[in-house]
Structure 1
Amino acid sequence: MSYLPLDEYQRKWIFTHQSMPIPEHDLAQIKPMSEARAAQLWKENISAQSPDSERFSSSDWPSKESNWPDSVDWMANWEDDELGLPEEVLNHLDWQDDVTVYFCYEKYNVIETKWSIFRKHWKNFLFYDDGPILIARRRKQALWFDSEGLVQLGYRS
């Protein structure tokens, strides 16, 4: 099985938190991957040897500064109820709504959804902001969030 039922996902509360609940029809499109599938995606797209963003090796594409030409503050938008993703992020990711995205917390914790769902509910995903990377199927653009409130805008190599 490639996905876990959301009810079995260890961090389900970030999507059902009373302060930012997600409607049922959108919840159905948030798919936590099984550990085996998450590890496979991580190995093929993020790092073959590092289990999380804190331990990337020099051969991992995210560790190369040249892949991250820009960064922007995301925390101010996260804390404001009226604001969505920073404009610079939206300009960097000119993806169609139906593009499949992967929000990669670490090797065994990856969520698959659509760009439209992530864009609408990005604040829920960032309840955990300890280095997650957002990538998309067949796209080079990437985002790397940090707990200091910055998101690096970059490109997979």
Structure 2
Amino acid sequence: MQISYTPLELYRRKWIFNNKDLPVTDEDKANIKPLDEKSAMTVWKTLVSDKASASEHFSKADWGGRPKSWVKDDCWQASWDSDAPELPAVMATHFDWEPDTRVFFCYDKYQAIETVWDVFVRNWKCFLFFDDGPLLLSDSKPQVALFTQDGDVKLGVRS
């Protein structure tokens, strides 16, 4: 999969990684790579859906539209609102990934960010400033998460 990036300083949502209340180190910023629109579309089509443009448009033809893809629901909002930086425990358990696992945080078909698991874990709250159905997934692991605006997260397995 050929991927091209937009420099973080040119990313239209760069402010989420420059928030004074949730500081991101320069080292982590170097590993937060927004995809250009064409690459985001490729990742979405390859890993998510070739028809739906956002998670709320999944059909039963998409793995994300099948109830059996989702194994657990939990709340992420309480952890996000707390002063503790840790990922919600249910997510930490679900994702038994190595720190250098490549992950994609897909806001929709046109916007995605690539990073590695340990950078996401340290900065997960920043990614969730936009919580209208983004997906967390990897191209090398089956586990996925779908975040909803009501503060819930659906944990599942991509097929």
TM-score by length of 2: 0.96
Deviation of 1:21 after TM superposition, in Å, equals 2.0
Partners of 1:20 and 1:141 lie apart in 2 by 26
| Displacement over 3 Å in runs of 4+ | none
Percent of aligned pairs with the same amino acid = 43
Question: Retained in 2: the 8 A contact 1:71–1:150?
Answer: yes
Question: Retained in 2: the 8 A contact 1:99–1:137?
Answer: no
Partners of 2:56 and 2:92 lie apart in 1 by 26
Partners of 2:86 and 2:149 lie apart in 1 by 18
Residue in 2 that maps onto 1:89: 91
Partners of 1:45 and 1:78 lie apart in 2 by 27
Partners of 1:58 and 1:103 lie apart in 2 by 22
Matched, 1:108 2:110: yes
TM-score by length of 1: 0.97
SS in 2 for 1:101: strand
Partners of 2:79 and 2:47 lie apart in 1 by 28
Question: Retained in 2: the 8 A contact 1:5–1:31?
Answer: yes
* Residue from 52, 58, 62 that aligns with 2:54: 52
SS in 2 for 1:88: helix
Residue in 2 that maps onto 1:4: 6
- The amino acid that maps onto 1:101 is V
In the TM superposition, what are the counterparts of 1:1-157 in structure 2 within 5 Å? 2-157=4-159
Partners of 2:42 and 2:58 lie apart in 1 by 16
Structure 1 unaligned spans of 5+:
none
- The amino acid that maps onto 2:99 is D
Pairwise CA RMSD: 1.0
